[in-house]
Amino acid sequence: MLDAALYGGETPAVVLTYAWDRLLIDPVPGPRGPANFTGLRLLTRSVRTVPADAAPIAPAGSTLPRLAAELSQTLALIDPHHGAEGIVRQLEEIVQYLEPDSVDLLDVGGDILARGDEPTLRSPLADALTLAACCELNFPVRLLVAGPGLDGEIPADALRERLGPVAVTLTAEHVTPVSSVLEWHPSEAAAMLAATARGARGLCEVRDAGLPVALTDDGPVVYEADLDEALDRNQLARAVLATENLHEVEQYSREICGFSEIDHERDKAGLLGSRPARPLDPEAVLRQLDEFEAAARSRGITHTTFRRLTEAFGLGGHQRLDLRALLLSSHPEQYQAPLWRLPSGA
């Protein structure tokens, strides 16, 4: 969406991204590296692209091959297993190889602008690693924040003074080319970014914890932010600058943030692994939906995500699309793509 909005999409960008789909898609905690895939293609010595015919090696899962099949952009894999220094090598090689006109570092939500000690922070590790690496790159990098607060971590009001000028405001027209992806991709932040670009406003409940996220006029706005100021503020990013493996990064996260999000995934994976699979019972699910919606409306919630519903109903990640199909067939008027809109009630 951003590539089309900023550059027109005539020459599609190369997008470096983590293979880290969380437990909803990937039952293995933490991010995946090149060794977890077949069919990757060598772009440079340290950078591999993810083509449509690549595949994660079981039991790992990944949305990247399907994304590669449906998007015109080239997807390349960020490998965090060699720490920030490894990502710097990747960036240096790809800049030398591609000789790009520009390099943008995009974060949806804005937790990349965090200090690291905020009590609402949930997933600082990937942002801090990428920020650290980009600050070490001998090439100009523009830091962009889309949809301040949409990731449910740092409130938009707390980010206000850390944001610079507006780079672009996404519209429904920018969402259209990726509409088919939004029908299946599990990212809640991307779903809310797209929904606000299409005009959705209200309060959206996300994640297993049911965090409320405001859908406002700020949702589809992409801001510039100062890269060096972000590094000065982000304690974890500064700490991991010289790291050479992911274990070091995790330890710094435990010391500075009080936790490692990969530890949280390990704990959750253990619980999910011990829980017996439940079949999706349509009648039971629709009863659960009524109860969930009544309780959510009492909390002021107007929208939710299919990930939130899947976890609230005690279903497995592999049942998310089946749940979505059931709800769209029974209550199609409540689908405000790609979110689920709650009825107003009596």
**Continuous segment of H or E residues that includes residue 296:** helix 282-298
203-258 pLDDT, tens digit each: 999 998 899 999 999 999 999 999 999 999 999 999 999 999 999 999 999 999 99
The model carries a pTM of 0.95
* Residues 6+ away with beta carbon under 8 Å from 20: 26, 30, 31, 32, 126
Tokens describing residue 263: 């530890």
pLDDT for 274:
64
Kindly write down the DSSP assignment for every residue of 254-284, as one continuous string: HHHHS--HHHHHHHHHHHHHHSPP----HHH
pLDDT at 254: 97
**pLDDT > 70: percent of the chain:** 99
149-205 pLDDT, tens digit per residue, is: 999 999 999 999 999 999 999 999 999 999 999 999 999 999 999 999 999 999 999
What pLDDT, in 10s, does the model give residues 311-331? 999 998 889 999 999 999 999
What pLDDT, on a 0 to 100 scale, did the predictor assign at position 336?
A: 97
For residue 122, give the amino acid letter. Answer: R
pLDDT (0 to 100) of residue 210: 92
Work out the mean pLDDT of the chain and round it to a whole number: 95
**Strand 142-146 and strand 104-108: pairing?**
parallel
Question: What is each CA distance from 329 to 113, 156, 286, 326, 333, in whole angstroms?
Answer: 41, 35, 11, 5, 9
| pLDDT tens readout for residues 25-48 | 999 999 999 999 999 999 999 999
- Cα gap 234→239, rounded to integer Å: 9
Which has more pLDDT, 10 or 244?
244
At residue 271, the pLDDT reads 84
In angstroms, the CA 135 to CA 231 distance is: 8
Distance between CA 184 and CA 167 in Å, rounded?
A: 28
* Percent of residues in the chain assigned helix, strand, coil, to nearest 5: 45, 15, 40
Structure-block tokens of residue 167: 């780079």
CA-CA distance, 66 to 17, in Å (whole number)? 14
d(CA 290, CA 104): 43
Residue 83 in tokens: 């720490």
* Whole-number Å distance between alpha carbons of 270 and 110: 30
* pLDDT of 345: 67
Residue 168 backbone dihedrals phi, psi, to 5 degrees:
-170, 155
